[in-house]
Structure 1
Amino acid sequence: MTDFIHMQKLSVGSESVESLRDWQQRRSGQRLEGRYFHTTRMWPKREAELTNGGSIYWVIQGVMQVRQKIVGLRERVGQDGISRCAILLDDELVRVEPVLRRPFQGWRYLKPEDAPRDLAKSREGEPGLPAELSAALAEIGVR
């Protein structure tokens, strides 16, 4: 039995892993504790498991394509006075084997045994496939 869990989240507005990376880098002046972060409305009840080795798996254009290690959760109060959860992320984006995902709202937990495998280190430098092609390959079970 594992003592960690992952999270899956839609990367709304991203067209590729590169566009997610570019967006995060453009926000570099908005880092929290020196880290990239993603803000979500709901605080995860399984915080201890997420911060004990979990990653956020980003779904881009309907395909889970990349993950980032979760390094912590922090409270962040917006200009509206509402408390939210800032998910602190490692800078490294790790490409994973593409897996189709239907749209969903918010985020979902992802069991480690259901998470896609990381791509081999030898494939990390390869440019990503276009989202449509990646989705088509994932749909027929080719990774």
Structure 2
Amino acid sequence: MLNLIKLVVGVSSLEELIERQKKPLNSRLHPEHGALPVVHTRSYPRRAADILEGGSLYRVISGLIQCRQRVLDIQTETRPDGTQGTLFLLSPEIIRVEPRALRPFQGWRYLESKDAPKDLTASQISNLPPHLQKELTLLGL
């Protein structure tokens, strides 16, 4: 199993990502799963089969890896300008993970399971504002 990691552009909090994914523009109908959140990207992953064996898309929001969603399908699409693109169809369930600082990068990256942040349990989820959580994470606390 292999994962991906990608920056969330134009979103400043996990709550904002949750609201964004509820909009019809950000979902696609899947024959088996119904309406699913979708992430658009340019490149199709060469290791798609490894990702589809239970991999997740880890999301970087405001400089921190904050959550993941299982990748349920990967599809190609033709954009309105005629270029090819890729859609990652995700599970609607957003799983919070141990926050980890990460510098900005373009596109997506592969993330081996051994290097992925661990899932948080309900008792570990912090109610701190995102900027404080980021500062504490950067301090190693």
Q: Give the Cα–Cα distance (whole angstroms) in 2 for the partners of residues 100 and 30 of structure 1.
A: 28
Q: Is the 8 A contact 1:32 1:88 kept in 2?
A: no
Contact 1:63-1:131 at 8 Å conserved across structures: no
The corresponding residue for 1:69 is 70
Identical counterparts, % of pairs: 39
CA deviation vs aligned residue, 1:59-86 (integer Å, no higher than 9, x gap): 0000000110000101111111111110
Aligned to 1:79: 80
Q: TM-score, normalised by structure 1?
A: 0.89
SS of the residue 1:18 aligns to: helix
| Amino acid corresponding to residue 9 of structure 1 in structure 2 | K
Deviation at 1:132, TM superposition (A): 1.7
Match of 2:38 in 1: 37
Partners in 2 of 1:84 and 1:62 — Cα distance?
25
Report the CA distance shift for 1:93/1:30 in structure 2 as closer, same or farther (over 3 A): closer
Q: Are the aligned partners of 1:75 and 1:85 in contact in 2 as well (CA < 8 Å)?
A: yes
* Partner residue, 2:117: 116
Moved more, 81-90 or 30-39: 30-39
Closer, same or farther: CA 50–91 of 1 in aligned 2, 3 Å? same
Provide the C-alpha distance between the structure 1 equivalents of 2:90 and 2:65, rounded to a whole number of angstroms.
17
TM-score (normalised: structure 2): 0.90
User: How far did residue 122 of structure 1 move?
Assistant: 3.3
SS of the residue aligned with 1:8?
strand
The answer to whether residue 7 in structure 2 is matched with residue 10 in structure 1 is yes
Counterparts in 2 of 1:75 and 1:18: CA distance versus 1, 3 Å: same
> How many pairs align?
137
Q: Could you tell me how far 1:110 is from its partner in structure 2?
A: 0.8
Q: Distance in 1 between matches of 2:44 and 2:85?
A: 7
1:138 to 2:137 alignment: yes
- 1:27 deviates by 3.0
Aligned AA (2:72): V
Distance in 2 (CA, whole Å) between partners of 1:13 and 1:139 is: 22
Q: Is 1:23 paired with 2:20?
A: yes
Query: 1:75, 1:83 within 8 Å by CA — same for their partners in 2?
Result: yes
Describe the shift of the 1:12–1:29 C-alpha distance in structure 2 as closer, same or farther (beyond 3 A). Answer: closer
Task: Show structure 1 runs of 5+ residues with no match.
Answer: none
Structure 1 residue 136: Cα displacement:
1.2
Q: Give the Å deviation of 1:28.
A: 5.9
Structure 2 unaligned residues grouped into runs of 5+: none
What's the RMSD between the two structures over aligned residues?
1.6
